[in-house]
Every structure is written in C-alpha cells, then in structure tokens.
Amino acid sequence: MSKSVTQSRPDVSDTPLRIEGLTKRFGGITAVDGASFEVERGTLTGLIGPNGAGKSTTFNLITGMLSPDAGTITFDGDDITGDEPYDIANRGLVRTFQIARELGEMTVLENMMLAPKGQRGEHLWRSVLPGVRGSVRRQEAELLDRVWETLEFFDIEHLAEEYAGNLSGGQRKLLEMARALLTDPDMLLLDEPFAGVNPTLENRLLEHIHDLRDQGYTFLLVEHDMDLIMNNCRHVIVMHQGRILTEGTPAEIKSNEEVIEAYLGGDV
Amino acid sequence: MSDAATTVRRLWAQDAVKIAALLLIIYGAYLVSGLVLGYSVRGQLNSLASLTFYIGVFATLALALNLHWGYTGLFNIGVVGFMAVGIYVMAFVSKPLYGSGGAAQVGGLGLPIPVGILAGMIAAAVFGLVVALPALRLRADYLAIVTIAMSEIVRFAFLSSTFQRFQFPHTLAGDTTRVGFGGGSGLILDFPDPLLAFIDAIGLSGAYDGLVGLVGGVVPNNPEPIVHSLVYGVVLLGIVAAYFWLLKRTGESPFGRVLKAIREDEDVARALGKNTDRFKIVSFMLGCALMGLAGILWLMGQGAVTPNFFRPRLTFFVWIALIVGGAGSNTGSVMGGAVFAAVLYQGPLYFQNVVTAVFQPGEAPSSFGPAISPLLSSFDPVPFLLYTLDSVRQLQLVIMGVALVWLMHNRPEGMLGHRKETAAAIPLARSSGATAPSGETDSEPTPRGDGDGTGGGGDE
C-alpha cells in the first residue's frame, strides 16, 4: 500500500499545497479573511485556533465544498480554486470530516471498497453487461486485498462486516482515515481526527499518522488540543478571526504572546 | 473460496424460495377463494391471470422505483409520468399509419412494435434526464416536487387538444401523416397484438395453439382469451426476473456502491472523488426507462389508453408496494409488488366477493343514511356492515392508508426486515482466494447464478 504511493508521487515541489489570500464571507461575517500559508511535503502540519477561527471553513474551501470569494489554492502546481470536490479528491488531496461521516447503512467493507479511484465497475455498462463484468470482478478482488490490508493496518478488521453506523465514535474516525487512505492521496486534510477518541485510540491513530508521514504522505491537521499539536507537528499555523495569526515551530508558537492572548480570549 | 461460494448460493436460494413461497401462498389463497366463490375453471384461470398481471406490473414498477429511492435516495413521486411517456411514445411510433383502415382517429408512424417499445423507453429516459438536470443538483425534496409536478404536466399535455392530432413527417421525402395523442378521449392502440407477435417472432406459435387446444379441453367455449392473458402474465413474470437480474447486477457493483454512498451522504461520496451528478443521472435515467417499459407492458395489451389513467395515486400505489417490501432490497421490491397487488390492490374486492358468496346477505343499503339509522335506533349493525362491504372499492384507499401508517410505525424497513444486499461484484468476505484473485473470479458464479435463480422463482 505504502510503497506504490511513495513511488508514484510526482516530484513537483516541496510545497504541494499553497494558499494565497483566501477569503470567504457568509453574509456580514468574514469567516476566512485573506489567509495565506503553505504546507511542506512529507510533514505533519498543524492548523490551530480558537473556535470560529475559520479552520473548518478553510478546509471546506481547499477541498472545494465551498468556493472562495477571493484568493487562490494551488495543489501540486495546479490552480484548483473553485474546482469540484471530486476533482480535487481525484488529484490526491483528500479530507476527513470533523464529525465522522461514515456511510451508516453500509458495512465497513463497503465503506472501504467505495474509496479507491479508477474503479472500472463505476461505469454501469461494465458492471451489467455479461462478458465485461469479469474484468470488474477481477479488479474488485484486487481492491478487496488492499482493503483488508488497510483494515489490518488500522486494526479494525474485526469490524469489517459491521454496519458503519454501529461503530463507536473513535472507530468511525479510524474508518474515515482508512477510507481516505484508500483513495491513494498525496495529502490528507484531517479535521479534528481525535475529537471524541479515547487516549489509547488517539495514540494509535497518531502512530499511524507518523508511520504514514514517514512513508511520504503529507498531512494538514486541524486540532484543538494544543499539547497534541505541539508534541506531534513540526510546523504549526495559528488562525484567529479568519486570519493567519502566526506560524512557526511549536516552540515559537508556545512563546508567542498573540497566540496566548487569542487562546485566553483577549479580544474575543 | 468454495465455502463462501456455497454460503452465497445458499443465501440466494433462500431469497428465491421466499419469493416462490410467497407466490404460492398468494395463488393458493386466490384458488381457495375462487372455490368458495364457486368459480368455474374459466373464472379461476381468469382470476389467476389478472392476479399475475398485477403482480408483474407492480413488481417491475417497485423494482424500478427501488433503484431511484432504495439505492440512490432519489425521491421520485412522478412514476406515472414516465409510464405515460413510455406508452404514449410507443403508441406514437408503432400505431399504423392513418387511413390504413380501422376506426382510429389518428395514426402512428407504423413502425414495428419492438422499435416502438425501445423508443418509449428511450423517451422516458430522456424525459428523466430533462427533469433530472435542473432538479438533481437541488435537495431531495425539490426533486420530489419537480417529479410530481412533471407527472401532472405530462397527463395534462396528453389531455390537451393541441396534441390531439397533428401532422408529422413519416418519410424522408417529407410526406406527413396524421398522428396524435388522442386527447381526453384516449388513444386506440390498434397495432397488432403484441403478445401474439412476440410468440410468433420466437417461433412458438405452434406451442401457443397447442396450449389453446389443451385449455379448450377444459374450457370448451372460446379458450383463446384465457390462454392469452395467462401467457401474458407468465411473460410479465419473466420480465420481472429480467428487471431483477439487471438491477441486482447494478446494485452489486462499484456503480451500485456509489449509488448507496450517495443515498447515505452525498458529500462523502464527492469528497472521495466520485462525480455524484453523473451517477445520479445515470441511475435516474435507467429507472425512468424501466418505468416507461412498465407503462408499456401494463397498457399495450389493453386496446386503448387515456391520460387520466396516469393519476398521481398510481405513483403512490408503487410507493406502497416498495415500502411493504422494504426500500433498498430487490427481493423485497418483488415481494412488496406481489403482496400489494394481491392484498391491497385486488384483495378488497375479492374479500367482498367471498363474504358475499359465503354469507349470502341481502341487498346493501343504497346510501349512508339508511345504513347508519338502524344502528343508532335499534343497534342493528347489519345494514351498516353491508353498506361498508358494498363500498369496499371506495374504502380501498383508506385501507391502503391504514396499512401504510401501520407499516411506517411498526416496520419501516419492510416485510423482510433489515436487508444486507452487499454492494460489491464479489463476496467481500476475507478469503484464501486473496492470493489468487483471477482464479477466484472464475470459480465464483454469484451474479449470473442469481439471475437464473430469480427466473426460476418468478416463473412459478
């Protein structure tokens, strides 16, 4: 699973994701106000900020679920501003959701089998016509192997036959990340992947993320837990009231007066 | 691997058994009530034929609607509109040219019936596309409003005198012929009998004549119409099996998996790189084509078609059938169609006939006053019960409503309960075949075996 990803990664630049002057208004509220930042390849970058800082809106803008009012988003050298979410996902920039959005009435296996790109059987005629369906089934068998490998990697293979809706909050988070990985992403945007996850599971998830980062994946992580960000990210971006307040290493962030004020509610 | 294969096969066998058992019970009940009613053999055969007909049409419609609602979550409450487009376009294409004899006020293009059926299905699909393009990007409830409005627009369009008759070119040279949709007085379907043409085309007219002779031994007087409607019923059940096969393959595939994901949470499907608009449109058009075909099959043997046949309540009949069976399950759709046809659609009238035959009550009161006054004045419930029994036709909708309310409260997931029809082209169980995927697919007969199984189950 990991090897093919590292090999297929195009060597475009060291900053796959570049945001410039991103702005989004909802009525009179400017949720994101001219945010600019970059994410370095093969790193785990943290995006933090108090509630309402515009983190989730930024995610929605990057992944095409919202269109920005101004600004550009560049991924692997291509302008993806305002592209359709499925286009962006197919380029290798894949997100998870703040509240895990499992497909409840589908089993864990179905959830996982959905994710891979380029499935031949997604064209109706190939799935239905006798004769060509064989090729669909062969591909399904290959995908199934990958799915089981990934389930094992995340230690949720015992839940494979379960309906996703029956999973616990933490298990859903695992499922979502596993599902996102199966799309062969280059970069993952994780929106609070640890919310509602117990400490044991949280540590395991973090281990997985570090493993994957070592394999060459790039992560942008939204998280509330400062300690977690400080201990795990090499680079941290702080958002406040829609703007980028500051960025730097965890040590720099920790000692930044503005950040402390934003978090302790100076002018909020 | 063979373990998984046998498990799947056994599971499937159960589904086929379920459908077959249900049909046996229904037919048994109808035969018994026929005996009670003292039906002749002719009456029995006629009642079985019409029962089979309604099971066939409601099962096909429920299957098509299941693709929309059960699989994709598309809230289509304009089913009749697509049926109407199907049969009207089919009639338009296949009716003989005007002036070639016969009493029809307007003609058609005089093309063969299969061409007409194909044209009707394509027209229904294209019409579905026209409806879907603006509506599918909106929320589910807007699609519902658009579809039901559209089905009424279709009905009024066919009622309108504008389309009653008009000239239409039918040759490359540009000669026109008088065609039309007949307006409110309806359209005579004066093409050759489709069933006989079909039997002739597959070279079984000898067997058909033999069957007529055979039935003639039991029903001496004019056996042909009985055989005709029985054979038509069997053909319909074959078509139910074909729908089932097609939709099972559609559902058990990566395509069906994306449909299911759209039903569950479209944003997730989009975030995983699926162009959900394409999937929704394909699914919607396929379902509409199947509804168009169901409309054709329902009406092409009826001799005539009028726009007011396509009132919205027919759409809701199909919805009830789907809910009875359980949305999301193809097996459930077939069973729901059968139960709806036998119990809720044909059942009340049968019940009325049986009760009347068994108890031989007197005349029912002619209006509500005489029915209720003995109950109030002398606590005599008989006239009221008789009146109720006599009004069963009118009460049918009430009975359906009560059944629907009860189902939504007590069994919203349908008669089969929660169904697990996995959306994948192969069994997803972890298997030793993981090491040899190609060998696995060759030895795995699941999907095709399923189709055959249905045929066996449906044709009983």
Tell me which range, A179-188, B352-361, B406-415, is most confidently predicted by mean pLDDT.
A179-188
**What one-letter code names the amino acid at A204?**
R
Grade residue A2 by pLDDT with cuts at 50, 70 and 90: very low
CATH 3.30.70.370 fits A17-102+184-265, yes or no: no
B128 CA: distance to closest CA in chain A (Å): 17
Q: Among residues of chain B, what percentage have pLDDT more than 90?
A: 49
Total domain count, chain B? 1
User: Is there a domain that residue B44 lies in?
Assistant: yes
Grade residue A13 by pLDDT with cuts at 50, 70 and 90: low
H/E element, A87: helix A85-90
Length of chain A: 268
Token reading at B389: 């029994």
CA pair distance B339, B334, nearest whole angstrom: 9
A186 CA: distance to closest CA in chain B (Å): 13
Whole-number average pLDDT of chain B: 85
CA pair distance B8, B232, nearest whole angstrom: 33
CA pair distance A54, A40, nearest whole angstrom: 21
Q: What is the pLDDT of residue A141?
A: 93
Q: Position of tokens 């009525």?
A: A27
Strands B176-179 and B187-188: unpaired
DSSP for B375-438? Answer: HHHH---HHHHHHHHHTHHHHHHHHHHHHHHHHHHH-TT-TT-S-----SSS--S--GGGG-HH
- C-alpha pair distances (Å), A28 with each of A51, A62, B123, B226, B266: 18, 21, 47, 73, 29
| Phi (first) and psi of residue B181, to 5 degrees | -110, 5
Tell me which range, A188-202, B94-108, B118-132, B421-435, is most confidently predicted by mean pLDDT.
B118-132
Residues from chain B that touch A172, judged by Cβ atoms under 8 A, are none
Contact (Cβ atoms closer than 8 angstroms) between residue A53 and residue A242: yes
Contact (Cβ atoms closer than 8 angstroms) between residue B230 and residue B45: yes
Q: Does residue A1 carry a pLDDT above 60?
A: no
Q: Does residue A4 carry a pLDDT above 60?
A: no
- C-alpha pair distances (Å), A32 with each of A21, A66, A248, B35, B101: 9, 12, 20, 77, 75
Q: Does residue A9 carry a pLDDT above 80?
A: no
Interface size A-B, in CB pairs within 8 Å, comes to 141
Q: Which range has the worst mean pLDDT, B91-95, B117-121, B298-302, B372-376?
A: B372-376
Domain limits, chain A: 17-102+184-265, 104-166
Q: What is the pLDDT of residue B26?
A: 94
**What one-letter code names the amino acid at A173?**
K
Which residues of B touch chain A, with CB atoms under 8 Å apart? 246, 249-250, 253-258, 260-261, 263-265, 267-276, 279, 282, 286, 328, 420, 422-426, 428, 430, 433-434, 437-438, 440-441, 444, 447-448
Grade residue A223 by pLDDT with cuts at 50, 70 and 90: confident
Closest CA to B385 of B344, B340, B351: B351
Q: Which stretches within A98-168 are classed as H helix?
A: 108-114, 124-128, 133-153
- Decide if the complex's ipTM is over 0.90: no
Contact (Cβ atoms closer than 8 angstroms) between residue B150 and residue B81: yes
Token reading at B140: 């589910």
Q: To probe the interface with A, which of B428, B438, B443 has the most A CB atoms within 10 Å? A: B428
Grade residue B452 by pLDDT with cuts at 50, 70 and 90: very low
Q: Is the dihedral of CA A241, A246, A252, A255 positive or negative?
A: negative
Grade residue A230 by pLDDT with cuts at 50, 70 and 90: confident
**What one-letter code names the amino acid at B394?**
Q
Instruction: Supply the Cα-derived Rg of chain A in whole angstroms.
Output: 19
Residues from chain B that touch A84, judged by Cβ atoms under 8 A, are 270, 275
Taking only the tens place, the pLDDT of each residue in A234-250 is: 899 999 989 998 999 98
Taking only the tens place, the pLDDT of each residue in B163-200 is: 888 888 887 777 888 888 988 888 999 888 999 989 98
Closest CA to B262 of B75, B80, B63: B75
H/E element, A238: strand A235-240
Q: Does residue B128 carry a pLDDT above 90?
A: yes
CA pair distance B238, B165, nearest whole angstrom: 36
Residues with Cβ within 8 Å of B410's Cβ and at least 6 positions away in sequence, in order, are: none
In this prediction the pTM is: 0.87
Length of chain B: 460
Largest CA distance in chain A: 68
Cβ distance of B272 and A105 shorter than 8 Å: no
Q: Which range has the worst mean pLDDT, A95-104, A158-167, B308-317?
A: A95-104
CA pair distance B223, B216, nearest whole angstrom: 5
**What one-letter code names the amino acid at A219?**
F
Q: To probe the interface with A, which of B11, B67, B268 has the most A CB atoms within 10 Å? A: B268
User: Is there a domain that residue B82 lies in?
Assistant: yes
Cβ distance of A114 and B258 shorter than 8 Å: yes
Q: Does residue A89 carry a pLDDT above 90?
A: yes
User: Is there a domain that residue B6 lies in?
Assistant: no
B420 CA: distance to closest CA in chain A (Å): 9
Q: What is the pLDDT of residue B281?
A: 94
Contact (Cβ atoms closer than 8 angstroms) between residue B293 and residue B136: no
Residues with Cβ within 8 Å of B169's Cβ and at least 6 positions away in sequence, in order, are: B175, B176, B177
Taking only the tens place, the pLDDT of each residue in B198-236 is: 998 898 989 999 999 888 888 878 889 999 999 999 999
Mean pLDDT throughout B287-301? Answer: 96
Taking only the tens place, the pLDDT of each residue in A25-42 is: 998 899 999 999 999 999
Taking only the tens place, the pLDDT of each residue in A143-172 is: 999 999 999 988 889 999 999 999 988 888
Q: What is the pLDDT of residue B102?
A: 66
Cβ distance of A144 and B444 shorter than 8 Å: no
Grade residue B2 by pLDDT with cuts at 50, 70 and 90: low
Q: Does residue B398 carry a pLDDT above 80?
A: yes
User: Is there a domain that residue B427 lies in?
Assistant: no
Q: What is the pLDDT of residue B431?
A: 57
Q: Does residue B62 carry a pLDDT above 80?
A: yes
B290 CA: distance to closest CA in chain A (Å): 15
Contact (Cβ atoms closer than 8 angstroms) between residue B327 and residue B70: yes
Residues with Cβ within 8 Å of B432's Cβ and at least 6 positions away in sequence, in order, are: B1
Domain housing B242: 39-308
Return the axis-axis angle of helices B205-218 and B194-201, rounded to nearest 10°: 120
Residues with Cβ within 8 Å of A17's Cβ and at least 6 positions away in sequence, in order, are: A38, A39, A62, A73, A74, A75, A93, A187, A218, A220
Residues from chain B that touch A133, judged by Cβ atoms under 8 A, are 249, 253, 425, 447
Q: Does residue A182 carry a pLDDT above 90?
A: yes
Strand order in the sheet with A29-39: A29-39, A17-26, A70-75, A78-79
Q: What is the pLDDT of residue B11?
A: 60
Q: What is the pLDDT of residue B9?
A: 63
Determine the residue of chain B that is closest to A185 in CA distance: B272
Token reading at A64: 């095409």
